[in-house]
């Protein structure tokens, strides 16, 4: 339930809802089967001006905040998490440019991302560097006015479909974590190739590919900030993007709750609808309460970030962790309520359960998130 | 800079699927019927906005294109005009006046044509092929005659458009025809022509702020005898619910018994 | 032009408010008040049991005594007469008889002289023939010009035409040029006994309601009728004195130049199917649940020498292509047998098939509106009933 939204915020929700009803719901089952990238939905989302929510007015964005990004992401997730992920991942890929880029770099890259003509992607993870992001081995070594990139990124969302990639690579391998930098690489640059699309448990229509760099020459003007700022930029990016992952989780949970509720009012056993059985009623009550609580935490976090607060890592991690954990439970419970029917692909909830799992994993596993929360708690107290 | 206008005529209609019949009084009950934009008009607006984008992308075209949306209706028809602005129409005009009430298709066409003349520089007028409530599809051809321009109905694609001609593919009885005419011209479109876009955020914000001018008999300098019921050649004299007098024979029994009986009926009718 | 409520006889019963589709009536202090949304449709005038509502201020009717006769337009395509022509002649015959007037047919086309004579079999008294290469292609401006010429000269009181794809753009143009009224898609035509004018009845609001319309202060009274709505009836063989009953229209080709350039034609890719040609239609709706399920209906249709039809819901869901769509925005059909499977009977659908001879409905929901128009109804699972029926037909062995 949303309340106290401004007219403009309500417009965002309305547009996303229309896109979900008209362009997403009719094709989501098919896309899950075919693993085809949801370009039609992405084009509508772009036309709706929703990619502008990630960007400042100066660079053709709407200049709104994370709150609005969460509104759009949640609503899209209610329809289909692959579509929402493709949208949110583009945001993730461009936030480093917002955070660490120069005015010139922003002018070069952001307008086309604002219009949705081009998509972005975030390239950090490697085969040997997941939670342990500090162990990345991709290098970007300076050669005159270029950097030469070598290495492979794994499981990159929007890989192959995006045009603009923010890559994290070691400019100074001997410095360890302090030697990583963020650099923008465009699709089509010689030496930059893609692996095959991964076959996943969930969000199957979201493109997940390897990025393979072989002596890829990238202009030095594409380096974000200064050498060595890579992980700082990454951490700052996650602080902003985690609530949006929380919003994804809230959205998919909401969608599952709606399906379960509708079904329970229609399905009759033993002479009455199953919604009249206390067992089901209690499940629905718990599901709805979890979703409401997760939503409250996510949007509270968004408001705090938008207010300009500096120290948001703990709250950000909490919103992502809590929301994704309840999403997994709510979607699983939804399958349980639909029981046999819920297990069949003909009904949308099994896909929602498969989709929800990823929210506990990407952008920092919930285990890492708990580390972040605990360490922050111990260091700074309850606040 | 000459501005070429593409005009779209749209109508607000009752969402008819809500209409129910009260079995006791055998009259219609409008259980809070929602007003919606005539579904085919959404496709007309989308086509106008798409054509504008197409023309402006064409370097050889050279002129600025403006999409103007017009509706003749009561004050609440402003809603659908705002929806059109939210998806990319540049301006909207509401034709609203007590004197316009009761208009048949001819009087409607006459009133719309007055507004289009006042708008000026209109190269192309697009209609949805028919309305949900009237579904005659007559206003387009009648307006085209009034303005002395050609009309092509059931257009399923605009193949080419320049600053002189328009070439379209339209649905005829059993096949499609490719027809070219000089503009100004009017066309009507169905659902197969395009995929209407969702409103954009900036579009919705623009629509919210937009003040839509209302033109009455005064602004149109219209002769009251030419508009509304006074200007109509036809008039509705009665409205009633169809009385379906008939007996349905419900076939009952086990599935085998029902099918057997149905088979017997089909045999009697000489179909098997 | 005004509408007034007689406050002394109005009881505030609010029946009028219930029928007003335009939300124009409120009941205040026990009296009906009509506001600006009123479009003078007259539904409330009719409904009021106390005769308390009156529409006033209508201008006086002009004198149209110099208009007489019923004319029907015979549409042709490439020299062939469209079905709707004979249907209109049969209908026109009834109206002409009621008026004691002459029935004439007007045929326009190229190379259709001989085929047009069929109108006499259906009861026409006279035939106007505009047969010329300039009419080879059905193009609005050229056709409207010749029709306007004929009508202006002959002054019929009634002019009927088919609401075909061509008719729906041609006839409004003719009406506009003649400055007369036109009512589209009539499902009923009759002559008012007292006033001797044409009562034009058509569905509106998707077919939920019927409206009866008259033409005020203009002639001819023009109406179009959808194909397959009226029945054609042969009344006699072609009379021997046919030559005296045919007027050939002289065409000066120079005066018939079109503004439209027909550059070519394209046939629709895929199947070219016209469901109106079949005597048996087996139609599927939302209850089918998917495109593959239509194979089942095809099997039944084939067994009955029929064709598969569909509701708009099925076509919109992509389960079957548009040529199969029956309904207000699809095709109007009136086959001998219409079997509706998993179709609820939404008004828009009924408008396209309710004139079928025999309607059989199979639906799981006993309260589905389709049962109101069906001749035979089965409340059951179509996935059980249809395969069983197919088996019964193919194997010929009784099931009980």
Listed in sequence order, the residues at least 6 apart from C325 whose beta carbon sits closer than 8 Å to its beta carbon are C309, C310, C311, C312, C315, C331
The verdict on whether omega for the bond into residue B169 sits within 30 degrees of 0, i.e. cis, is no
Buried b (16+ CB within 10 A) or exposed e, A133-143: beebebbbeee
DSSP symbols for B196-233: PPPPPHHHHHHHHH----EE-HHHHT--GGGSTGGG-S
The DSSP code for C2 is: E
B3-231 in CATH: which number?
3.40.50.620
Q: Searching chain B, which residue's CA lies closest to the CA of residue A64? A: B201
DSSP symbols for A277-345: SHHHHHHHHHHHHHHHHHHHHHHHHHHHHHTT-S--HHHHHHHHHHHHHHHHHHHHHHHHHHHHHHHST
Nearest CA distance, B220 vs chain C (angstrom): 20
| Contact check, Cβ <8 Å, B105/C172 | yes
- Residues A165 and A209: their CA atoms lie apart, in Å, by 12
Instruction: Say which residue, A124 or C290, is predicted with more confidence.
Output: A124
For the cut 90, the answer to whether the pLDDT of residue C256 exceeds it is: no
- Residues B198 and B87: their CA atoms lie apart, in Å, by 7
**Residue A2: φ, ψ to 5°:** -110, 140
For the cut 80, the answer to whether the pLDDT of residue B243 exceeds it is: no
Confidence class for position B21, pLDDT limits 50, 70, 90: low
- Residues A255 and C59: their CA atoms lie apart, in Å, by 60
The DSSP code for C217 is: S
Provide the pLDDT for residue A38: 97
Provide the pLDDT for residue C47: 82
List the one residue out of A199, A217, A219 whose CA is nearest residue A209.
Answer: A199
What are the residue ranges spanned by the domains of chain B?
3-231
Domains plus CATH for chain A?
Answer: 7-119 (1.10.540.10), 121-228 (2.40.110.10), 231-380 (1.20.140.10)
Pairing of strands A208-219, A192-194: antiparallel
Determine the Cα angle at A132 with ends A131 and A136, to 5°: 120
The DSSP code for A129 is: B
Contacts of C388 in chain B (CB under 8 A): 255-256, 259
Provide the pLDDT for residue A258: 97
Contacts of B199 in chain A (CB under 8 A): 15, 18, 48
> Which residue out of B13, B16, B149, B170 would a mutagenesis test of the C interface target, given it has the greatest number of C Cβ atoms within 10 Å?
B16
Do C286 and C342 form a contact (C-beta atoms < 8 A)? Answer: yes
The reply to whether C70-252 and C275-395 are identical in fold is yes
Out of B75-79, B104-108, B235-239, least confident range: B235-239
For the cut 90, the answer to whether the pLDDT of residue A378 exceeds it is: yes
Half-sphere exposure (Cβ direction) of C244: Cα atoms closer than 13 Å: 3
Contacts of A7 in chain B (CB under 8 A): 208
- Residues C331 and B17: their CA atoms lie apart, in Å, by 19
CB atoms < 10 A from the CB of C133, how many? 10
Listed in sequence order, the residues at least 6 apart from B13 whose beta carbon sits closer than 8 Å to its beta carbon are B35, B36, B37, B38, B131, B132, B133
Region B221-248: what's the mean pLDDT? 83
If contacts are CB pairs under 8 Å, which of residues 78-107 in chain B contact chain C? 98, 101-106
**Residue C127: φ, ψ to 5°:** -130, 125
Q: In sequence order, what are the beta bridge partners of C284? A: C310, C341
Contacts of B262 in chain C (CB under 8 A): 360, 376, 378, 385, 389
Give residue-wise pLDDT tens across range C179-217.
Answer: 999 999 888 899 999 889 999 998 776 666 788 899 988
Confidence class for position C229, pLDDT limits 50, 70, 90: confident
Provide the pLDDT for residue C289: 86
Q: Is B235 on the interface with C (CB under 8 A)?
A: yes
Architecture of the domain delimited by C275-395: 3-Layer(aba) Sandwich (3.40)
Provide the pLDDT for residue C346: 79
Confidence class for position B135, pLDDT limits 50, 70, 90: confident
Region B145-165: what's the mean pLDDT? 93
Q: What percent of chain C has pLDDT over 90?
A: 52
Confidence class for position C266, pLDDT limits 50, 70, 90: confident
Expressed in angstroms, the distance from the first to the final Cα of chain C is 68
Run of H or E residues at A158? none
Nearest CA distance, A3 vs chain B (angstrom): 19
- Residues A84 and C176: their CA atoms lie apart, in Å, by 53
Provide the pLDDT for residue A1: 60
Q: Which fold has domain C70-252?
A: Rossmann fold (3.40.50)
- Residues, chain A, total? 383
**Residue A290: φ, ψ to 5°:** -60, -45
List the one residue out of A120, A121, A109 whose CA is nearest residue A60.
Answer: A109
Do C224 and C121 form a contact (C-beta atoms < 8 A)? Answer: no
Run of H or E residues at B41? helix B39-57
- Residues B249 and B252: their CA atoms lie apart, in Å, by 9
Q: Does domain C2-56 have CATH number 3.10.180.10?
A: no
- Residues C24 and C41: their CA atoms lie apart, in Å, by 11
* Pairs across B and C, CB distance < 8 A: 295
Give residue-wise pLDDT tens across range C38-87.
Answer: 877 777 887 888 889 988 766 677 888 899 999 999 999 888 999 899 99
Query: Is B11 in a helix, a strand, or coil?
Result: coil
Give residue-wise pLDDT tens across range A290-319.
Answer: 999 999 999 999 999 999 998 999 999 999
| Contact check, Cβ <8 Å, A15/B202 | no
- Residues B209 and A8: their CA atoms lie apart, in Å, by 12
> Which residue out of B200, B202, B203, B209 would a mutagenesis test of the A interface target, given it has the greatest number of A Cβ atoms within 10 Å?
B200
Out of A339-343, A347-351, C242-246, least confident range: C242-246
Q: Is B204 on the interface with C (CB under 8 A)?
A: no
- Closest to C376 (Cβ–Cβ): which among B14, B152, B265? B265
Q: Catalytic: A68?
A: no
- Report how far Cα C289 is from the mean position of its chain's Cα atoms: 31
Provide the pLDDT for residue B32: 60
Confidence class for position C237, pLDDT limits 50, 70, 90: confident
Q: Chains near A, with 3+ CB pairs < 8 A?
A: B
- Residues B126 and B143: their CA atoms lie apart, in Å, by 11
- Closest to C392 (Cβ–Cβ): which among B133, B180, B259? B259
Q: Searching chain B, which residue's CA lies closest to the CA of residue A21? A: B198
- Residues C78 and C265: their CA atoms lie apart, in Å, by 13
- Residues B106 and B78: their CA atoms lie apart, in Å, by 23
Q: Output the furthest CA–CA distance in chain C (Å, rounded).
A: 74
Contacts of C59 in chain B (CB under 8 A): 230
Provide the pLDDT for residue C135: 92
Give residue-wise pLDDT tens across range B39-77.
Answer: 899 999 999 999 999 999 888 887 889 999 999 998 999
The DSSP code for A24 is: I
């Amino acid at each position: 339930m949303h309340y106290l939204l401004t007219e403009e915020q309500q417009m965002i929700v309305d547009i996303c809802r229309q896109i979900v009803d008209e362009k997403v719901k009719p094709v989501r089952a098919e896309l899950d089967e075919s693993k085809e990238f949801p370009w039609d939905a992405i084009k509508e989302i772009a036309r709706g001006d929703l990619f502008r929510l990630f960007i400042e007015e100066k660079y053709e964005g709407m200049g709104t905040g994370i709150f609005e990004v969460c509104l759009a992401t949640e609503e899209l997730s209610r329809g289909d998490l692959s579509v929402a992920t493709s949208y949110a991942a583009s945001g993730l890929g461009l936030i480093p440019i917002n955070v660490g880029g120069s005015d010139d770099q922003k002018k070069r890259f952001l307008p086309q991302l604002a219009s949705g003509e081009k998509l972005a992607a975030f390239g950090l993870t490697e085969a040997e560097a997941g939670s342990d992001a500090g162990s990345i081995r991709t290098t970007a070594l300076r050669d005159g006015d270029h950097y030469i990139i070598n290495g492979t990124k794994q499981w990159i969302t929007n890989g192959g479909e995006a045009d603009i990639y923010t890559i994290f690579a070691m400019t100074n391998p001997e410095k360890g974590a302090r030697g990583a930098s963020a650099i923008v690489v465009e699709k089509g640059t010689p030496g930059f190739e893609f692996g095959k699309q991964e076959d996943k448990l969930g969000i199957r229509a979201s493109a997940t590919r390897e990025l393979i760099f072989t002596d890829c020459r990238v202009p030095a003007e594409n380096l974000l900030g200064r050498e060595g700022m890579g992980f700082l930029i990454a951490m700052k990016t996650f602080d902003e993007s985690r609530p949006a992952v929380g919003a994804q989780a809230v959205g998919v949970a909401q969608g599952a709750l709606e399906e379960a509720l509708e079904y329970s009012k229609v399905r009759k056993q033993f002479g009455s609808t199953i919604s009249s059985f206390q067992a089901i009623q209690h499940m629905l009550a718990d599901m709805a309460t979890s979703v409401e609580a997760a939503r409250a935490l996510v949007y509270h976090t968004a408001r705090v970030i938008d207010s300009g607060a500096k120290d948001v890592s703990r709250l950000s991690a909490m919103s992502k962790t809590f929301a994704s954990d309840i999403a997994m439970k709510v979607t699983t419970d939804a399958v349980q309520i639909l029981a046999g029917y819920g297990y069949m692909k003909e009904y949308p909830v099994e896909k929602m359960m498969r989709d929800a799992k990823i929210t506990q994993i990407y952008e920092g596993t919930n285990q890492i998130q708990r580390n972040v929360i605990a360490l922050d708690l111990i260091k700074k107290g309850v606040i | 800079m000459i501005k070429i206008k593409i005009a779209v005529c749209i109508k607000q209609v009752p969402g008819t699927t809500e209409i129910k019949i009260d079995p006791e009084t055998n009259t219609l009950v409008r259980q809070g019927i929602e007003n919606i934009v005539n579904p085919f008009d959404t496709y007309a607006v989308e086509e106008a906005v798409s054509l504008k984008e197409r023309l402006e992308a064409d370097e050889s075209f050279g002129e600025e294109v403006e999409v103007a949306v017009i509706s003749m209706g009561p004050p609440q028809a402003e809603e659908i005009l705002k929806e059109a602005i939210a998806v990319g129409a540049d301006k909207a005009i509401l034709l609203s006046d007590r004197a316009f009430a009761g208009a048949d298709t001819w009087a409607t066409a006459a009133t719309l044509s007055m507004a289009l003349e006042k708008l000026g520089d209109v190269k192309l007028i697009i209609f949805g092929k028919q309305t949900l409530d009237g579904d005659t599809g007559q206003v387009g051809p009648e307006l085209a005659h009034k303005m002395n321009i050609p009309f092509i109905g059931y257009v399923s694609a605009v193949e080419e458009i320049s600053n002189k001609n328009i070439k379209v593919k339209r649905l005829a009885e059993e096949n499609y025809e490719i027809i070219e005419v000089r503009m100004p011209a009017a066309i009507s479109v169905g659902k197969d022509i395009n995929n209407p876009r969702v409103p954009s955020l900036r579009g919705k914000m623009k629509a919210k702020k937009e003040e839509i001018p209302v033109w009455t008999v005064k602004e149109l300098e219209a002769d009251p005898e030419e508009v509304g019921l006074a200007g109509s050649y036809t008039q509705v004299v009665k409205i009633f619910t169809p009385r379906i007098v008939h007996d349905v024979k419900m076939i009952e029994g086990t599935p085998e018994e029902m099918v057997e009986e149905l088979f017997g009926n089909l045999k009697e009718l000489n179909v098997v | 032009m005004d509408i007034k409520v007689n406050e002394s006889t109005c009881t505030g019963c609010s029946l009028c408010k219930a029928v007003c589709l335009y939300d124009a009536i409120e009941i205040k202090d026990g009296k009906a008040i009509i506001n600006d949304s009123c479009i003078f449709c007259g539904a409330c005038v009719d409904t009021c049991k106390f005769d308390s509502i009156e529409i006033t201020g209508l201008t006086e009717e002009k004198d149209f005594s110099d208009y007489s006769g019923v004319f029907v337009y015979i549409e042709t395509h490439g020299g062939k007469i469209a079905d709707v022509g004979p249907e209109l002649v049969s209908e026109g015959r009834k109206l002409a008889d009621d008026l004691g007037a002459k029935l004439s047919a007007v045929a326009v086309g190229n190379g259709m002289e001989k085929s047009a004579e069929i109108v006499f079999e259906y009861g026409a008294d006279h035939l106007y023939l505009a047969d010329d290469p300039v009419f080879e292609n059905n193009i609005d401006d050229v056709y409207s010009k010749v029709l306007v010429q004929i009508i202006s000269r002959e002054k019929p009181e009634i002019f009927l035409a088919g609401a075909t794809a061509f008719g729906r753009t041609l006839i409004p143009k003719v009406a506009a040029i003649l400055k007369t009224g036109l009512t589209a898609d009539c499902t009923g035509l009759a002559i008012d006994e007292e006033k001797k004018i044409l009562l034009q009845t058509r569905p509106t609001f998707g077919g939920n309601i019927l409206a009866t319309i008259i033409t005020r202060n203009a002639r001819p009274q023009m109406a179009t009728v959808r194909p397959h709505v009226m029945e054609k009836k042969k009344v006699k063989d072609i009379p021997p004195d046919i030559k005296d009953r045919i007027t050939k229209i002289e065409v000066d080709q120079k005066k018939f130049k079109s503004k439209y350039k027909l550059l070519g034609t394209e046939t629709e890719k895929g199947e070219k199917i016209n469901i109106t040609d079949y005597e048996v239609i087996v139609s599927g709706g939302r209850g089918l649940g998917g495109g593959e399920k239509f194979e089942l209906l095809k099997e039944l249709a084939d067994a009955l020498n029929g064709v598969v039809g569909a509701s708009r819901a099925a076509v919109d869901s992509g389960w079957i292509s548009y040529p199969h769509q029956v309904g207000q925005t699809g095709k109007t059909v009136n086959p001998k047998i219409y079997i509706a499977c998993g179709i609820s009977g939404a008004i828009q659908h009924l408008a396209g098939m309710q004139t079928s001879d025999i309607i059989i409905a199979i639906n799981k929901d006993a309260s589905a509106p389709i049962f109101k128009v069906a001749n035979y109804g089965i409340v059951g699972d179509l996935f059980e009933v249809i395969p069983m029926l197919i088996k019964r037909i193919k194997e010929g062995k009784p099931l009980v």
